[in-house]
Amino acid sequence: MKAFEYEDLPRKVVHQAKRVLIDALGCGIGAFGADAAQIVHGVIQDLGGPKESTVIGSGLRTSCLNAALVNGVMVRYLDYSDLYAVPAGKWYVGVHPSDAIPGILAVGERCNVPAKR
């Protein structure tokens, strides 16, 4: 059985994944100065911890968990991130799949996963 490779992904999937990643990072950067983000950032800074992952916009390195928390607050704060509507009976339920991106990036950085493309 052949291992799954980046090249096996359809171009449309790669394009959409890049769009969602850039959208999430833009939302995080845009919310960096918001009160909520600065409060959580200050708490995380005071807590310290192992320098495993980076907080978007500040360069602060902290634990993977704490970086995922503060980055997640920033990505979600402005509520401009992607929306995916899921049918639920005769209604649709909206979800924001990119809310998972801050955690994924923090774990990837902690585990030294190399970025591709």
Question: Is the Cβ–Cβ distance between 107 and 64 less than 8 Å?
Answer: yes
Query: Do the Cβ atoms of 98 and 81 come closer than 8 Å?
Result: yes
User: What does the pLDDT read at residue 34?
Assistant: 96
Q: Tens digit of pLDDT for each residue in 11-63? A: 999 998 898 899 999 999 999 999 999 999 999 999 999 999 999 999 999 99
Average pLDDT for residues 111-116, to the nearest whole number? 84
Closest CA to 34 of 65, 64, 75: 75
> Could you report the per-residue pLDDT of 74-91, keeping only the tens digit for each?
999 988 877 778 888 898
106 has a pLDDT exceeding 80: yes
Band (pLDDT 50/70/90 cuts) for residue 95 is confident
The pLDDT of residue 117 is 58
Tokens 């911890």 label which residue? 49
pLDDT at 6: 86
